Every structure is written in C-alpha cells, then in structure tokens.
Amino acid sequence: MTASAPIVILVNPQLGANIGMAARAMLNCGLTELRIVAPRDGWPNPEALDAAVSDSRILVENAPVFDTTAEAVADLTHVYATTGRGREMVERIVTPRAAGREMRSLAADGARIGVLFGSERAGLGNDDISLADTIIRAPLNPDFKSLNLGHAVLMVSYEWFATEDETEEEVLDIGTAHVATKGELDNFMRHLVEGLDSGNYFRAKEMRPIVVRNIRNLFQRARATEQELRTMHGVIVALKKAGRAEEGAD
Amino acid sequence: MTASAPIVILVNPQLGANIGMAARAMLNCGLTELRIVAPRDGWPNPEALDAAVSDSRILVENAPVFDTTAEAVADLTHVYATTGRGREMVERIVTPRAAGREMRSLAADGARIGVLFGSERAGLGNDDISLADTIIRAPLNPDFKSLNLGHAVLMVSYEWFATEDETEEEVLDIGTAHVATKGELDNFMRHLVEGLDSGNYFRAKEMRPIVVRNIRNLFQRARATEQELRTMHGVIVALKKAGRAEEGAD
C-alpha cells in the first residue's frame, strides 16, 4: 500500500449502507483513504459504520467531510470521475481496467489521485465532472447499466489492485502432497490392469491397450497425487476382497 | 447474451438484500440465471426483491430454489466454487479473470456452467466445494479478504462480461465537434502571438520561439477542438477589448 494510492471521493451519497459498503470494497483492494462530500443524511452516519465491517470501519471513521467537490479535490493532481452517462462536453473516457493501470503509473510518479463517485439517484453533476481530468466508464450490459454505488467503488478499486497483483492465474493446490510421478502412475496402472486381467475385464483383446491408455489418461489428466494413488491401490484391494466375500456368500 | 452464460448459485444466503444485490450485479454484466439453495429466511423474500432494482427483480422472481447444492448443479457440466479460504483438499484454483476467459471458452463449446457462492457468515462448506471442478479465488488485500456476497458475484460476473467486451480502453468523446486541424491551430497561434507581441509579452527576444512552442504544445496536448479554438479566439478579442476599456478608465 503506497501513500499515493487513489482516494475515493463519494459526492452526495444518500445511503449510509452504501458508504460503508464502499469502504469495505476499498479495503478489500488495499485502498484506505475515503472522502465524503455533503452526505445527504449528515455525518457521522451510524449506518455507514454498520455496513463497513471490522477494519473497514476505520476508513469511515477517518473520512473527512467537505461541503463541495472542489474543496475535496483541491490538493489532488489527477481526478477521475465515474459516470455511465454521456455529457455535452469534451471528455476523455477510459475503462476501469485502463484506469487501474494509468493510476498505478501516475502514482509511481508521485501523483495525488482522486476518483469521484456520484449519488445513488443522480450520479455526478456536470459541475463535478468538469473538475475531473478523465471519465471512468465501465463497460456494462447496455440494457441495464445502473450500477450500485458500492459496486462501482469495488470495480475501480479491484482494477487498481489487479494491476500490481502477482497471483498466478491458475494453480493446483495440493497442500503438502505431490503430483504422482510417472513411475508411481505406472505402478498403479500395473496393479489395476493385473486385477482387470484376472477379472476378465478385457473381452476384446485388441481393445486392451486402448482401454488401458484411456484409464491411465484419466488419472494423469486429474494430476492425481501420490496420496490419491495410494488410496486407489486400496480401492483395488478392497474391490477384490468384496468379490471374494460375495463368492463366499453365494 | 448466450443461452450458456454461467448460472449464479447462492448457497444458503442469509440476507435478502444480498440476494437482490447479487441479481443486480449479474444483470449489469449480462447474466440472467440465478439459483438459490436453502435460503436462510425462506422464499420468496421481499427484501431480495427490494434490493434488486427494476429489471433485475425478474432474476429474483424467476430464481428456482433447491434443497441441496447437489440438486442445484445436477444438470451442469462445469461447476466453479468461490472461496477465499484454503481447504484440506486438492484444488485447482483460478483468478476471476482467468475464470472469465475459461467460462467463455467452455460456454462456446456448449458447457452448462454454474458458479457457487457461499453464505455471508461461513462461505461454502467443504461438501459444496467438493461438487466443483475449480475454485475461483479473487486476489485481495491479504489483511482484509472478506468480500460481501453481492461484491463477490459482481467480481465474477464482471470478469465474464469483460472477456467479450470490445469497448475501447480509451476514447476522447468530442460529440459532433472535431479535433482542430494543425492549420486551425496555427491560425489560432498566429492570432494569439500577434496579441502577445503587441502587448509586449516577450521581453526576452530569444525566449519568444520557446514560449510560443510551449503554448502551442499546451493546446495540442489538450487535443483542442475547432469549437474550443473559436472560443479562444473570442477570449483573445475580449481580453484586448478589456485592455482598451481599462485604458479608457484610467
């Protein structure tokens, strides 16, 4: 978390719950500075504190409140405004994803960045928009573009976080186990095929190598662990035992 | 919107408001099929309908309710489970972004896909997780990973939508105006520099070309429209007029 992470600025928010949810979304994504402009229901707002759970309550408690948007952005060098509506003005418009990358790059150069979010009912007014350098507009279902305030804050915060996140896109978490070696897999297949042969599974001899290959492929594709193959060895033993028991019962 | 878009499955959701917000987030991102497993407060839930605004109420109204997760996924071919916690089992884990791309590709091949979301208090149980092929885990602030249910649904839905969205990452929206041609910019600069010369602005002669270049660069960088340059021509005229008026007033 850098000192120059974007500041979220809620302009005329109406519902305390949305303020709290915005704070929660921010902290989920490593943003910690929240500002409020002229909240409808006054300040402090107990509903905002309720909706912000555990640590994110601190963001709400520490949020400075301003009378005007101009005052809330006065110390900033770069201001973004979020809006889904087109305006009668010349606007540079970026997606949340592009904004995330751009804000990272600006922050690295020492910029002080703020992102404006408008009220639930009306969004940002043109006077607020005109304080911003750039519009952020999320690509959304054109037939249903109205985004909840907390959701809008999450979307921008998430894209900020994602730009520097180094989580691998795909991992196989096998804890302390290890994926079976090819030798362990061969060993298991030998055990299995022995049982299948003695159970007279392969009626069509010419199909035997194909079926064996397909079964091996199934366990390989699953990236079975050594532990799981040991379990399957036990399954083979148990099934053979069940056969003997059933024979005895006949 | 394809028939094979992912189905969102809320398992034991507690708060109606979160069910409604999930539906809203889904429709924002073009998802339309919601299923509910054993909701805590019964069904139908008026609070869920209240939180889902306008068209997204239909998703709530049409949501089938199941007693068990197994029944809710019985007709599906690919199931994802969302969880932030590690489990004592072998898991394939992907990010929401990777999941979005993967689900698009699976859907194109005719897969029936579902995504499980657990309850607000406890998330998904291991029995639910074991019904899934793949875990989706969002990279989040490691010190504050607890995501609101509606926010989690938004994140996955948004990444699904983003994979096929073709919105340009950056546009300059100038409505019906056009960015000024270089000739229009030259013309404006001539008008301006004429005024500066006659106002004796360039005291250090050798600085004149540098300052002129810098001013031109400012308007060029702003990608001023032809309309804006006409406004600025008017500004030059008005300032000169103000000078004459002030002289008269002296």
pLDDT tens-digit readout, A115-138 = 999 999 999 999 999 999 999 999
Region A158-186 average pLDDT: 89
Q: Inspect the interface and report whether the beta carbons of A175 and B90 lie closer than 8 Å.
A: yes
Q: Is residue A12 part of a domain?
A: yes
Cα–Cα distance measured from residue A30 to residue A168, given in angstroms and rounded to the nearest whole number? 19
Q: What percent of chain A has pLDDT over 70?
A: 98
Are A122 and A229 part of one and the same domain?
Answer: no
| Residue of A28, A102, A226 to mutate when probing chain B, most B C-beta within 10 A | A28
Are A77 and A141 part of one and the same domain?
Answer: yes
Q: Residue A133 belongs to what domain range?
A: 7-162
Nearest to B151 among A25, A144, A228 (CB): A25
Are B11 and B104 part of one and the same domain?
Answer: yes
Chain A residues touching residue B180 (CB < 8 angstroms): none
Are A127 and A68 part of one and the same domain?
Answer: yes
pLDDT of residue B117: 98
Output phi, psi for A114, to 5 deg.
Answer: -130, 150
CA distance A87 to chain B (A): 9
Is A80 exposed, middle or buried, given 0-12, 13-18 or 19+ CB atoms closer than 10 A?
buried
Going by pLDDT thresholds of 50, 70 and 90, the confidence category of residue A1 is very low
Q: The CATH number of the domain where B190 resides is what?
A: 1.10.8
CA distances for A4 relative to A30, A106, A211, B38, angstroms: 12, 9, 61, 45
Q: Is residue B2 part of a domain?
A: no
Q: Which residues of B133-149 are buried (b: 16+ CB within 10 A; e: fewer)?
A: ebbbbbbbbeebebbbb
Output phi, psi for B170, to 5 deg.
Answer: -145, 130
Cα–Cα distance measured from residue B71 to residue B130, given in angstroms and rounded to the nearest whole number? 14
Q: Inspect the interface and report whether the beta carbons of A170 and B56 lie closer than 8 Å.
A: no
CA distance A2 to chain B (A): 13
Q: Is residue A171 part of a domain?
A: no
Structure tokens at A141: 């279902």
Is B7 exposed, middle or buried, given 0-12, 13-18 or 19+ CB atoms closer than 10 A?
buried
Are B119 and B202 part of one and the same domain?
Answer: no
How many degrees, rounded to 5, is the angle at CA B77 between CA B74 and CA B81? 80
Q: Is residue B97 part of a domain?
A: yes
Are A191 and A107 part of one and the same domain?
Answer: no
Q: Is residue B173 part of a domain?
A: no
Residues 202-231 of B with CB under 8 A from A: 225, 228
Going by pLDDT thresholds of 50, 70 and 90, the confidence category of residue A45 is very high
* Chain B, nearest residue to A143 by Cα: B28
- In three-state secondary structure terms, B226 is helix
Region B219-234 average pLDDT: 91
Is A35 exposed, middle or buried, given 0-12, 13-18 or 19+ CB atoms closer than 10 A?
buried
What is the value of ipTM here, to two decimals?
0.88
Q: Is residue B174 part of a domain?
A: no
Number of residues written out for chain A: 250
Q: Is residue A168 part of a domain?
A: no
Are A115 and A204 part of one and the same domain?
Answer: no
β-pairing, B91-94 vs A170-173, is antiparallel
Are B144 and B200 part of one and the same domain?
Answer: no
Are A187 and A96 part of one and the same domain?
Answer: no
Residue A32, CB-side half-sphere exposure with 13 Å CA sphere: 10
Are B137 and B32 part of one and the same domain?
Answer: yes
Are A43 and A114 part of one and the same domain?
Answer: yes
Cα–Cα distance measured from residue A28 to residue A83, given in angstroms and rounded to the nearest whole number? 22
Q: The CATH number of the domain where A16 resides is what?
A: 3.40.1280.10
| Residue where one domain finishes, among candidates A113, A133, A162 | A162
| Residue where one domain finishes, among candidates B109, B132, B162 | B162
Are A12 and A95 part of one and the same domain?
Answer: yes
Number of domains in chain B: 2
Q: Is residue B176 part of a domain?
A: no
